[in-house]
Amino acid sequence: MARSVTTQRKVLFTASAWFVALLIFFPVLWTILTSFKTEASAVASPPEFLHADWTLVNYADVWARSDYPRFFLNSVIISVGSTLLGLVIAIPAAWSMAFVPGKRTKDLLMWMLSTKMMPSAAVLIPMYLIFQRTGLFDSRTGLVLALMLMNLPVIVWMLYTYFKEIPGEILEAARMDGASLRNEIIYVLTPMAVPGIASTMLLNIILAWNEAFWTITLTTVNAAPLSAFIASFSAPQGLFYAKLSAASTMAIAPILILGWFSQKQLVRGLTFGAVK
Amino acid sequence: MATQSSRAAARLMVAPSVIVLFIWMIVPLALTVWFSFRIYRLLSPDRNGWAGLRNYSWFLNSPDFWLAITNTLLLVGGVLAITIVFGILIALLIDQPVWGQGPLRILVISPFFVMPPVAASIWENLFMHPQNGLFAAVSHAFGWKPILFMESYPMSSVIFIVAWEWLPFATLILLTALQSLSSEQLEAAEMDGAPAISRFRYIVLPHMIRSITVVVLIQTIFLLGIFGEIFTTTQGGPGSASTTLPYMIYKQAVIAKDIGRAAAGGIIAVILANIVAYFLMRSMGKNLDA
């Protein structure tokens, strides 16, 4: 008796949870479906679900109309490059903040986060001029630097919360055994920190991949990533839904798939030390 | 415990991060301060010189200014309210014994992976478009007039789109917090006859406060600068109905091509962001230490 009640409850909760989850996911699903329809079928009224004209022509069109591989490559280089560079600078900082905290460590962390509060639009013109003068405009190096600096506070913050969870006694023991600072980092700390670093890396690749202000304003042709690629397709409003959907799918698919596969690590990383 | 030398080494290791961030912050900021006191119009380059405080007074006296401030606060407040309330509800639902928690999480997290320009143009075209959008089709099916989302409700539409993008972030953090709550405490309360509402109010909610704090902190930082969603959908319109502070600055710089005024607006935005940051960090700092 009791058992049948719990099963009933479980069915009810499962049904409502799936309903809500599908509702949240629906816009993504609808975009993917629309990308396989003909233009006429995409705007048909009433909307066509199963009996639509399915086709791959939109993908062929988008592929022919623009240099997708170059945009894709730029996105990969910029997001991975800025994340790796950020890690190189942030790991020592987060390490020392977590293990040799000073009086000002908390303030310093808050200050770093507060640099992200400056609205990008407010410094658009100075940044544009600086990038032009230094030859960084429309270069991958320039965007790697810009996005690294944008995400550095988040990287330091995340690593700090991970490193803080590593028990200090282990480090002391290593120190007692005469390990140098360098060895301490390489042989003791790094292996324990790898999961945290991996989560941080994933989240920041996603943040950099989806960044759409500096990547659009500081590039024209050479360094333009997928955010700029999609901007060129969203201009004709209310027209070419199928092509817009195909381009959208092509822009988000790589990171969507990466995100799905690494969902567990990512969620752990997202909590910013909020959950103890 | 830490020796003199390890302290020095620690400083040395923090230094690169602090220095590059400081440069990244201070150089554009200094240039913006400089421009904000200059007459600098791209359309009339021969007119230049000191503007005094005229750029600032133009910006502060512009009828759009207070509207932009209100819209910015509406956007941040609206998205925070929606994502936290629905985030808690969805997290409570997924935390129940349900089949397929893994796939459910994947579905819920998906909007987080969609880049803002894509999210904005999907919603604007495929869903909210008054002729061809899915919502219009639903309205037709019921015999209603389609809603002109971007014309009649520009701010609400933008808030809705941004809330959809940020809902996964809030939901997943709150879900992780829920799952770290010991079930014994809840079971004990249930045995003692505490109703579900009180269990939530006195056990679940206090446990989640720290996570809610982090959601508010991180989201506010990203939401204050929201730009792409407005640029893609309403362009700040109709008129100035959905113009936020960042968008107003952008309009001055790129459309009116008045760099001086845009810079003054930028400095005002930075000051306001710092005021928000100060209060946020002060109230949140305590919560985070605990």
Instruction: Please write the tens of the pLDDT for every residue from A149-188.
Output: 999 998 998 888 888 877 777 777 877 887 787 887 778 7
The answer to whether B100 contacts chain A (CB < 8 Å) is yes
pTM of the model: 0.89
Distance separating alpha carbons of residues B149 and A173, to the nearest angstrom: 63
Tally of CB atoms within 10 A around A73: 14
Sequence-separated (6 or more) residues with CB below 8 Å from residue A50: none
* Residues in chain B where the model's pLDDT stays below 50: 1, 290
CB-CB under 8 Å, B164 with A27: yes
Distance separating alpha carbons of residues B142 and B144, to the nearest angstrom: 6
Amino acid identity, position A47: P
Residue pair A223/A208 in contact (Cβ under 8 Å)? The answer is no
Say what the ipTM of the complex is: 0.87
**Helix (H, G, I), strand (E, B), or coil: what is residue A238?**
coil
pLDDT for res A272? 63
Distance separating alpha carbons of residues B216 and B87, to the nearest angstrom: 12
Sequence-separated (6 or more) residues with CB below 8 Å from residue B29: A118, A123, B270
Contacts of A128 in chain B (CB under 8 A): none
Q: Who among A34, A130, A212 is closest to B116 (CB)?
A: A212
Which residues 134-193 of B are in CB contact (within 8 Å) with A? Answer: 134, 136-137, 140-141, 164, 167-169, 172-173, 175-177, 180
Contacts of A231 in chain B (CB under 8 A): 117
pLDDT for res A5? 56
The answer to whether A49 contacts chain B (CB < 8 Å) is no
Q: Who among A46, A96, A259 is closest to B109 (CB)?
A: A259
Contacts of B276 in chain A (CB under 8 A): 117
Q: Who among A6, A121, A267 is closest to B172 (CB)?
A: A267
Altogether, the residues listed in chain A come to a count of 276
Tally of CB atoms within 10 A around A273: 15
CB-CB under 8 Å, B141 with A119: no
* Residues in chain A where the model's pLDDT stays below 70: 1-5, 234-239, 269-276
